[in-house]
Amino acid sequence: MLTLIGLGPSDTRDGLSLGAWDALRAVSGPRFSRAGRHPAARWLQTRGGITFDALDDLPDAEAAALVLEAARRGEAACVVPGHPQTGDPI
């Protein structure tokens, strides 16, 4: 199962919905990030204790393959900037 989580437009945790926070904490498998430079992602890592495997520097197809393979093996999450249905090609 793959959970896509949008980080919203905010530069702090204030942009995260409670649903996004709960989903990130509940994922038992790997968490991926296409938003490593997003301020909310940095906050999640430094203050929220959430770790990610960074995909920012990978080509879109390679990043997508890693995320989908992890989801095939079990549970995985991927955070993207903004809303999970817009803006990120993977």
10-69: pLDDT as tens digits: 666 567 788 888 999 999 999 999 877 788 888 888 888 888 998 989 999 999 999 999
Residue with more model confidence, 16 or 74: 74
The pTM of the full predicted model, rounded to 2 decimals, is 0.81
- Answer left, alpha or beta for residue 82, where phi above 0 means left and psi between -120 and 50 means alpha: left
pLDDT score at 88: 59
User: In this structure, are residues 71 and 1 in contact, taking their beta carbons and an 8 Å threshold?
Assistant: yes
Give per-residue pLDDT as tens, 80-89: 887 655 555 6
Edge-to-edge strand ranges of the sheet holding 2-6: 2-6, 76-80, 31-33, 53-54
pLDDT score at 40: 83
pLDDT score at 17: 81
pLDDT score at 44: 87
